[in-house]
Structure 1
Amino acid sequence: MSFQIERGLFLLDFTDNHAILGVAVDAEIKDIRKRYLKIARRLHPDSAASETEAARQQASELLSKLVNPAWEKLSQERDRSEYMIMLKLKGQQGLRQQSELELGNLAKQLSTTANPDHFYATSLKDLASRQYEELDQMLEITAQLSELNLVYLMRKESTGELKTGEKKVLYTGSNIPDSGVGVRSSQASAPAPPPPRESQADQYYRRAESYVAKSNFAQATLELRDALQADPNNSRCHSLMGMIYLKQNQGTMAKIHFNKALQLDPEDPMAQQGKQQLEGAQNPASKGAGTAAKAKASPPKATSAKKDDKSGGGLFGLFGGKKK
């Protein structure tokens, strides 16, 4: 059975695990776990005993191929941290490609509403309540959820969302909202602004993002090197390069790029989070090195060991035998 979805974040070569589980992109792990358990009980073979064989088979495949993998990705702290970074990148990518996006009615309304947080929360709750009730509608509802997630991320990434009472409208090409969306006539009649032209570095960066999403770090690195050659002071490129090196356990190179990104933009969120992860990974090693240094700098014990143990044991045995 095919579970292919080609709308919302899925359209950007990204598996939207939040949409699969029907939770908000900023949901806490305890709420994600609660939602997962509810879905798992609904799809479990014992719960579907009264349904037809085809329905039980469909429920079983949804659970094993979509729901369980989504929960595994979001439940592991390291995987979730990397996933959330990619979510942010996809929000930025959506902003750059908004003229190419085709959205449903709910997503179009979210792109223009004056209160995106409330609209997003209530719309998501309504869709999630029906997501796994009629399994034949599950993919359609998940696609709508992913569209909401994408537009919500775009709204969060955009600047000046609500300035001096004016709404910043995120037009999406042919999907300019109709009169039923509730936008003032002066805004609805205004022509959609042309999308900003991508620089050469942005083009390289966008391709690098797609390679990172596919875990093709070697090709992503090549794209970012070209981007930095075109624009050496691009903090986003340095941040993403640092994350790639961090993913491959190349801490020194990761630190260089994170520091450069923060030098260019002290508020760069990806560089800040990456540097925190890097420092957290290095602390245990530093602690161990400090313990070893203290052991070396203990003259009384070293003298006693040399005097009492002539066989090369004791302290000399620990560091590899007698001193020559």
Structure 2
Amino acid sequence: MSQSTLTSEWLTNFSDPYAVLGISLAADDRRVLKRYRTVAKLLHPDHYTPEDDTTKDLASQLFARLVNPAYQKLKQEKGRKENVSLLRLQVRRLYRATPLAPKSDLACQLAQQPINGVDVFYEQAIAQLSDTQYQPLDQFEPLTQQLGELNLVYLQLKMGDVLMREKPTGIVSAAEARPIQFAPADTETISESYAQRHYRRAQEYMKKGNWKEAEQELRDAIKIEANKSEYHALLGVAYLQQNLQSMAKVYLRQALKLNPKDPLACRFAPKLGLEVAPPANGAQNGKAQKVQPDNKAAKHHGGLFGLFRSKK
């Protein structure tokens, strides 16, 4: 951002007041005011040295022409609802013209989140970008654009069912538009197959001892489908093979939480001091017991011999 004087044309790139302030679409009065005060301090002339007149002038213009108007739009609930409605309208227009294709890494990751993880990831992404949105000022333009993209992707995810149910209008008739409708069941099937594909690739990587590559594949699988114990268990083993015991423990514990009888988690959890449920025919006094690993099997393939049988 090199504008010493902000042109009206340049200012139109920042029509989303939520992105300008660096707050989520769920922000209330208190959060809006708190963020406004934080940005005001960062852009205050006293924040800059007397020698840095150009940056000081730019900060003053940003505050006067973007930040302050954004706050005026969002400081009351009525204004926030109106601006969210405008963003929803923008999403509908984009959806009818062409599917929204995220460009930034965080927006792409948000688009791949399971529906029950969208809100948490979105809030964390907004917080991450807003931390450095105005420091230094050169960050303002790219980060604010990323914040705006996050807002659109988030709304598209939350409006997904509504968008698909809307009747098409304009030149394309309803009969012509029908083939591109997506049923929820088809989307679920596609998501599941992609997750399974990541899982299979991870298995192949781990057979070759490529733990880092396997780790990335499994993280991608969990983003798509977070309720599969085998994904968490295998990721825990990948971390264990890299001597990252704390991370391994987190994912093995989650695998056991999802499925207390997950065979891979039951085998490796005791190595980290985690307790597993006893077999049905070996329970004693109803207490969990630690499973002793098979030392002979552990000698093969870095302790992963026989762990890559196909899941059905």
TM-score normalised by the chain length of structure 1: 0.46
